[in-house]
Structure 1
Amino acid sequence: MQVGSYGGLVSIPTEPIGSIPRPAALLAVLSAHAAGEADDAALAAAQEAAVRETIRRMEEAGSPVVTDGEQSKPSFATYPIGGTDLAGDGVVIPFADGHQRQLPVITAGPFGYAVHADRYLRAALPHANVPVKQAVIAPSALSLLYPPGGIDGYSQAAFLDDLADEAEADIRGCLDAGAHAVQLDFTEGRLSLKLDPSGGVLDAFIALNNRVLERFTQAERARIGVHTCPGGDQDSTHSLDIDYTGLLPKLFQLKAGNFYLQLASEPDPDKVLAVIADHLPPTARVFIGVTDPINPEIETPEQVRDRVLRAARHLPADRLGTCDDCGFAPFADDTSTSRDTAFAKIAARIQGTALAAIDLGL
C-alpha cells in the first residue's frame, strides 16, 4: 500500500509542512558567515549539503512528498525581502513564553521580491526521488511591511498592487518549476484575531490572498494550498489561546484546493473538526495536523492512527490528508527541536497514516 498517493489504492495523502531544524554544521557556517569568517561559497555549500541530507532523511522515513526543509531560508516569512530600503521597527509578534519576533517595514517603493521561492525548489529537485512541495509566504503576511504612517509618493494601494503581482509570480514560478504542491504559509490568520478581535484585519487578509489566488485556474488551484497554525517558534506559540472557530469559517473562503490545518495541539479537536466539516469547500482537501512539532514527546504511529480515525468520523476519507501541525524550525536560529526528533515525528505521521488507511479499508 502506497500512502500519500492522490489516486489508486490510497486516499489518505500525507505531506510535511516545511521547515526542519538545521544541522549543526550549517548553523556553524551561518554564524561564521554573519561574522565575516566564511564566504558566500562556503555558505552555499553548507546549505546544499543540508538540503541533500534533509531530503534523504525524509525519503528514508517513507515520505511520499518531501520539502527542502527550508535549510536555506532565513525564515519562512522574510525570505523574499532584501535591499536597503527597510527599517527594523515593524509589527511585533509576541509569543506565549515572552519572546518576540519583529518584522521590518519598507521605507520606499516600488516593492519587489529580492528572492522568489522557486530558487529553493530548483535547488531541491535534483536531490529528490519523490515529488517536492514548496512553501511560500502568503501575501497577507507581507502586507504588514507597509508602515502605518505611509510612504511619500508610494501609496498603500500601489504597494498592494506590487505585492499581489510578486506573490502571484512566487506561486507561479514554483508551479512552472514542477512543484508537487505550493503551500501558502498563513500563520498570521489566527494571530490577526488576537490583534484585532473584530475580524477586520482577518477580512483584509482573506481578500488580499484571494486577490492573488483568483489569478490561477481551477486546475492550478488544485495544486495550491494554505497552511495555518497558531505559530510555532522556540517551543512556543503566538495565538493558541485564540478560538480556532473564529478563524476557520473565513479561512475556508480562500480559493485554494488544499488546506493544511494544525490540529494535534488543539485541546478540543472534535470541536474543531465539526467546524471544518461544516465549512470545508466541496472540492477541497483538508490535511489535518497529527504531530505537534513543539511537543518534545514523539507520537507513536498508533496515536497518529487514532487522530486520523477521529477526523474520519467528521470528514469524508477521500477528502482527508495528514500533515505536521507546523514547521519544526521556521526561523534559522530556532534550535528548540532536534533533527532526530523532527524525523521521528515525520516517520510516526507516515506510519500512523498507513495504519489508519488500513482500518478505514482504503
Structure 2
Amino acid sequence: MIIPTEPIGSIPRPQYLVEALQRQAGVDELAGLQERAVAETIAAFAETGSPVVTDGEQSKPSFATYPLAGFGALAPDGVVIPFEDGHTRQLPRLTAGPFRYQTYADQYFTAARRHTDRPIKQPVIAASAVSLIYPADELDGYSRDAFVEDLVDEAAADIRRSLDAGADSVQIDFTEGRLSLKLDPSGGLLRSFVELNNRVLDRFTPEERQRIGVHTCPGGDQDSAHSLDVDYAGLLPSLFELRAGRFFVQMASEENPSAALAVIRDHAKPEHRVFIGVIDPINPAVETPETVRDRILLAAEYIPADRLGTCDDCGFSPFADDTSTSRDIAFAKIAARVSGTKLAEDMLN
C-alpha cells in the first residue's frame, strides 16, 4: 500500500522575482524571470523526493485572481477578506458583462511540463471564489443568473483544459468555504457555494472526477489565517457533498484534529481519497518526519489507510507579494512531509 503525498500549490517566489514584480519589470523580462523561477522550483521539488509537483504558482498574481488579470470590466473595490492579524485582501468588483476568463490554468501546466517528466498537479480557483466579484446590486444588462451561467462555463473550461493538457490531477482551491461560515453563520452561503461548484463538477464524468480534487483551509497569508476560528464541523459535512474524487483538508494547524477527523470519518464517501494536511505552512518551525508520521497514524485511526493521502495545509505563498516564509523553509517542510509519509506508510504496511 502506498500513501500518496502531494503539495497544495504555491511556493514562495525567489527574491529576484519579488523585486521584479515590485518594480513592475517589463513583460519580456518578467516572463523570463518567471520561467527561471518555475524551473528552479520544480528542481527543488525533485530534490525533496516529491512524487507529484506543481509550478509553485510562480507566474500567478495570486491563486485566486489569475483568471481576471487583464479583464477590463473590473473595479478595485470588491469584497474585503480580513485576516486574523488585521491585514486584508480585496477582490475586484465586476462592472459589466459578459464575463470571461483572461487566463486559463493550462498555460501554467504547459510551462511547467517543459521542466519535468514528473506528474504535475494543476491548481485552479473555485467558481465560488470568483462568484464574489459580482456586486450586491444587479448590473444593468447583465443579471446575476447570466453571470453564473458564464462563470460555470469558464470554470469548467479551466479544469477541462488542464486535464486535456495532461495534468495528473486538477485541484480546486476552495478556501472561501470555511470563510463563508464567518460571513454567514446560517450556512446559506456555504450551501450556495457547494451548489455552484457542483454545477461545474457535473460537466465531468465520474472517471474524470476521480482526477479532480477540492482543497479547503482557513486561509494562509502573511503568517495569518482568515477563518481558523470557525468550527470545522460546520464545513466538513457540506464539503463532502462536492462531487469530486479527492479532498485536500488542512489539519496540521487544527486545534482539535481528532474531532475534525471524526467528522471526516462520518461524512467522507467510499469513493473519496482524503489527503490530510500534515504540514503547517504559516508556522516557521520545520516539522520532523516523526511528527508527520504521527499525524498520519492519527488520521489512519479514522480514515482507512487505502483512502488516505497527505498534503500541506495550504500553499506557502498564495499571493505573489507574500514573503513571510522563505523558500528554504518551504522546501524543508515539504521534504519532511515526503519522509514522514514514507515512515507512516512503512508502519501501516
Number of the residue aligned with 1:102: 90
Instruction: Give the Cα–Cα distance (whole angstroms) in 1 for the partners of residues 122 and 216 of structure 2.
Output: 15
2:214 aligned residue (218, 226, 233): 226
Number of the residue aligned with 2:4: 13
Overall identity of the aligned pairs, in %: 68
* DSSP 3-state at the match of 1:247: helix
Stretches of structure 1 that go unaligned for 5 or more consecutive residues are: 1-9
Over 2 Å off, 4+ runs: none
Instruction: Give the Cα–Cα distance (whole angstroms) in 2 for the partners of residues 128 and 14 of structure 1.
Output: 18
Instruction: Give the Cα–Cα distance (whole angstroms) in 2 for the partners of residues 91 and 294 of structure 1.
Output: 24
1:144-189 deviations in Å (ceiling 9; x for gaps):
0101011100000000000000000000000000001100000000
Within 5 Å, which residues of 2 pair with 1:140-159? 140-159=128-147
1:329 aligned residue (317, 320, 344): 317
1:72 aligned residue (59, 66, 84): 59
Instruction: Give the Cα–Cα distance (whole angstroms) in 2 for the partners of residues 211 and 203 of structure 1.
Output: 12
The yes-or-no answer on 1:53 pairing with 2:40 is yes
The yes-or-no answer on 1:29 pairing with 2:20 is yes
2:247 aligned residue (259, 266, 276): 259
**TM-score normalised per structure 1:** 0.95
Stretches of structure 2 that go unaligned for 5 or more consecutive residues are: none
The yes-or-no answer on 1:289 pairing with 2:277 is yes
Number of the residue aligned with 1:5: none
* DSSP 3-state at the match of 1:127: coil
**TM-score normalised per structure 2:** 0.99
Please report how far the alpha carbon of residue 83 of structure 1 lies from its aligned counterpart in structure 2 after TM superposition: 2.1
Instruction: Give the Cα–Cα distance (whole angstroms) in 1 for the partners of residues 230 and 130 of structure 2.
Output: 22
Instruction: Give the Cα–Cα distance (whole angstroms) in 1 for the partners of residues 233 and 167 of structure 2.
Output: 31
* DSSP 3-state at the match of 1:289: strand
Amino acid at match of 1:350: V
Amino acid at match of 2:13: R
* DSSP 3-state at the match of 1:72: coil
1:194 aligned residue (175, 179, 182): 182
Please report how far the alpha carbon of residue 128 of structure 1 lies from its aligned counterpart in structure 2 after TM superposition: 1.2
Please report how far the alpha carbon of residue 100 of structure 1 lies from its aligned counterpart in structure 2 after TM superposition: 0.3
1:104-140 deviations in Å (ceiling 9; x for gaps):
1110000000000001000001101310000000000
Contact 1:23 1:50 in 2 (8 A): yes
Number of the residue aligned with 2:344: 356
Amino acid at match of 1:47: Q
Please report how far the alpha carbon of residue 11 of structure 1 lies from its aligned counterpart in structure 2 after TM superposition: 2.4
Contact 1:11 1:320 in 2 (8 A): no
1:305-325 deviations in Å (ceiling 9; x for gaps):
000000001110000000000
* DSSP 3-state at the match of 1:80: helix
* DSSP 3-state at the match of 2:247: strand
* DSSP 3-state at the match of 2:104: coil
Instruction: Give the Cα–Cα distance (whole angstroms) in 2 for the partners of residues 135 and 287 of structure 1.
Output: 15
Instruction: Give the Cα–Cα distance (whole angstroms) in 2 for the partners of residues 293 and 252 of structure 1.
Output: 24
1:320-352 deviations in Å (ceiling 9; x for gaps):
000000000000000000000000000000000
Instruction: Give the Cα–Cα distance (whole angstroms) in 2 for the partners of residues 27 and 89 of structure 1.
Output: 25
Amino acid at match of 1:31: Q
1:123 aligned residue (103, 107, 111): 111
Instruction: Give the Cα–Cα distance (whole angstroms) in 2 for the partners of residues 98 and 329 of structure 1.
Output: 18
* DSSP 3-state at the match of 1:134: strand
Instruction: Give the Cα–Cα distance (whole angstroms) in 2 for the partners of residues 186 and 352 of structure 1.
Output: 26
* DSSP 3-state at the match of 1:42: helix
Instruction: Give the Cα–Cα distance (whole angstroms) in 1 for the partners of residues 86 and 22 of structure 2.
Output: 24
Amino acid at match of 2:109: L
